[in-house]
Structure 1
Amino acid sequence: MRNRFFRDLLSMVATVGFVAALPIQAAMAAYPDRPITLVVPFPAGSGTDSVGRVFAESLSKDLGKPVIVENRPGGNATIAASYVMRAKPDGYTLFVTTNTSHSAAPWLMKNVSYDPVKDFTPIARGGNLPFILVTSPERPYNSVQELITYAKAHPGDVTYASGNSTGIVAGGTLGHVMDVDMLHVPYKGTPEALTDVISGRVDFMFTDLTSGMPFVSNNRLKALAVSTAERSSLLPDLPAMEELGVDNFDLNSWNGFFGPANMPEDITLTLNAAINRVVQDPEIKAKLAQLGFDAFSGTPEDFAQFVAQQYQQWGKWIQDANLAPQ
């Protein structure tokens, strides 16, 4: 009798444990079961913000839950990166960012509170944001070579704006490669920097296609070159820096998605698959191309390897341009 009692008790406990586990398993299988926050490290109106909102809308439809954009600008994207790093790694706080936070800021800033490789879960590439060199139509130079000639004739007087790390490094690299003294004027974000280039307060800047091309199209800015060794398929008529005589100049702004470190693999793969479906959709890809964004993706492993390689590459560019940490 006593043995039978214990057998029945153990059976009941096992049954209760199994039933209790069902909601947990169901919850794990239901991701996402509530809205997802997509943190953008730049202001509204920036290239990353515009692209991020297209992804957010598309991912909302794909995943069946709202993906809400939250802008946390400042600190060369380190404010947003630090916020995401501290978030719970449950897949409900994601980060769409660029080389600014993960390739350049750790080299450009003295105090960065995160490790760009160890403190995040790489989810997927989003694509590339090609950059262009723009200046006011009122400026006396109509080519990169004319700009360099003018800057050499007026050492220290020519200014370049930046709204992110790509703008900082591109301007510094141009000065280094061409051996010309120019003054850097940093801004919190690209929209503010563009405003001062358009008004003539600052001479030129490197900006992403998404932010700069509308002003080029309505003749408020003139574009002199793309910041790469070869022409961009998104703007094939604009010459590349190297064909204009600026050697060893090939800077591009990459875009990608991260979560906090130690995010569950199944959630990472769910998000990766969704992002890949978004960039493979012809209509969405065309919509992003109109924003000046070259959309493509891959596996989390490929992205992780790319991030580690880019961290080292940007460190070399920054050191070569003698850009001291601030």
Structure 2
Amino acid sequence: MTFSHLLRALGSAGLIALAAGAVHAQAWPAKPVRLLVGSPPGGPSDITARTFADQLGQRIGQPVVVENRPGAGNNLAAGAAARAEPDGTTLVLSPDTVLTVNPLVYTSGDFNATRDLVNISVIASFSQMLVCNPSAGVRTVAELTAKARAGSMMYASGGPGVPGHLATEMLLEQTGVRMQHVPYRGPAPATQAVLAGEVACGFLATPTVLPHVKSGRLLALAVSSQAGSALAPDVPTLAKALNQPDLDVSFRLVLQAASGTPPAIVAEIEKQSAAIMKLPAVRDRLKNFDLTAVGSSSAQAQQVMNAEMKRWEPVVKRLGLKSE
């Protein structure tokens, strides 16, 4: 075969591949779509998933059914999506800790999010709020760190490696103080522990703790994101409290599918995601739960995840986090 014949053959093969990709995109989805969530109903991840699913279903003409599969730091939902047929009809919405922390913590299973899932889009970002029981006697981050230096203090989280645990450890790392971590099975029981005074403080989901802040049962010291909270604009950012303007301890909800999903289908879901997250009604609804709509590209999602993996790996290794 001459070089020109080879070029024509390669060109024909490329056209065939492009045509096949177009058919895949046009055919998607040929059946209802499942959207898995690794948290119980009612939380920020679940609310985001249901808001997104409602809009996606309207746009693609197929039902998008949300399934809650809580457990193992969101790994149960993510693992089920990874093992599904890679045809784009099983998706999962996960916090970025599934990618940045869990592969380092859950090392004994046959599932690894960085290997077995493709990142389609960062759907939204969120932060955590540092709250303390009034009996702790602290009203600012400076007072908290001073008291922690002077004696033993405990803080609550929704479990090892979850955003609230990581946010607190970032605070402790930045200030050089120590506090004893008390993990609970989710943010709700962790919040109850702080309310009861069993544990002094905790970085917890803003929508979960804000009603208790407004009632005076908890004191808000800071929010972890650089941008602050639209729901609590008077609460200082951790960056401001520590006088570190570049400090941003925010987290993301990432839409994923099984590795091997055809690129044309990934591109189609990515396009739909970007359009949905631009809708004012969607943005306003998420803002009510302290979430910021994003709708990134797949490439941007992967870039962000790579950076966050590098950021949290030394923290996880320092803490020696391992699954039980």
Normalised by the size of structure 1, how large is the TM-score? Answer: 0.83
Aligned to 1:134: 131
CA distance in 2, matches of 1:203, 1:304: 37
SS at match of 1:202: coil
Q: Which residue identity does 1:72 align to in structure 2?
A: R
Q: CA deviation at 1:105?
A: 1.6
Aligned to 1:79: 76
CA distance in 1, matches of 2:211, 2:86: 38
Q: Which residue identity does 1:159 align to in structure 2?
A: Y
1:323 maps to 2:307: no
In 2 relative to 1, CA 63–196 (structure 1 residues): closer, same or farther, beyond 3 Å? farther
CA distance in 1, matches of 2:135, 2:47: 28
* CA RMSD after TM alignment: 2.4
Q: Is the 8 A contact 1:230 1:242 kept in 2?
A: no
1:187 maps to 2:184: yes
Q: Is the 8 A contact 1:141 1:147 kept in 2?
A: yes
Aligned to 1:22: none
Equivalence map 1:116-131=2 (5 Å): 116-131=113-128
Aligned to 2:173: 176
CA distance in 1, matches of 2:51, 2:107: 34
CA distance in 2, matches of 1:192, 1:281: 34
CA distance in 1, matches of 2:167, 2:303: 23
Aligned to 1:111: 108
SS at match of 1:118: helix
CA distance in 2, matches of 1:124, 1:160: 31
Q: Is the 8 A contact 2:24 2:265 kept in 1?
A: no
Q: Is the 8 A contact 2:276 2:282 kept in 1?
A: yes
Equivalence map 1:94-243=2 (5 Å): 94-111=91-108, 113-155=110-152, 157-163=153-159, 165-229=162-226, 231-232=228-229, 235-243=232-240
SS at match of 2:203: strand
Q: Is the 8 A contact 1:43 1:189 kept in 2?
A: no
Q: CA deviation at 1:174?
A: 2.2
Larger Rg: 1
In 2 relative to 1, CA 112–213 (structure 1 residues): closer, same or farther, beyond 3 Å? farther
Q: CA deviation at 1:153?
A: 2.2
SS at match of 1:236: coil
Aligned to 1:287: 285
1:307 maps to 2:282: no
CA distance in 2, matches of 1:213, 1:274: 32
Q: Is the 8 A contact 1:82 1:114 kept in 2?
A: yes
Matched residues, number: 299
Aligned to 2:295: 297
Aligned to 1:39: 36
Q: Is the 8 A contact 2:57 2:63 kept in 1?
A: yes
CA distance in 2, matches of 1:54, 1:139: 38
Structure 2 segments unaligned to the other structure (5+ residues)? 1-21
In 2 relative to 1, CA 128–27 (structure 1 residues): closer, same or farther, beyond 3 Å? closer
Aligned to 1:15: none
In 2 relative to 1, CA 277–151 (structure 1 residues): closer, same or farther, beyond 3 Å? same
1:253 maps to 2:269: no
CA distance in 1, matches of 2:198, 2:211: 20
Q: CA deviation at 1:93?
A: 1.0
Question: Which shifted more, 81-90 or 236-245?
Answer: 236-245
Structure 1 segments unaligned to the other structure (5+ residues)? 1-24
SS at match of 1:117: helix
SS at match of 2:113: coil
In 2 relative to 1, CA 27–146 (structure 1 residues): closer, same or farther, beyond 3 Å? closer
Q: CA deviation at 1:233?
A: 5.1
Q: Which residue identity does 1:134 align to in structure 2?
A: V
SS at match of 2:210: helix
Q: Is the 8 A contact 2:24 2:264 kept in 1?
A: no
Aligned to 1:66: 63
Q: Which residue identity does 1:31 align to in structure 2?
A: W
Q: Which residue identity does 1:158 align to in structure 2?
A: M
Aligned to 2:17: none
Q: Which residue identity does 1:44 align to in structure 2?
A: P
Q: CA deviation at 1:135?
A: 2.0
Q: Is the 8 A contact 1:209 1:293 kept in 2?
A: no
Q: Which residue identity does 2:279 align to in structure 1?
A: D
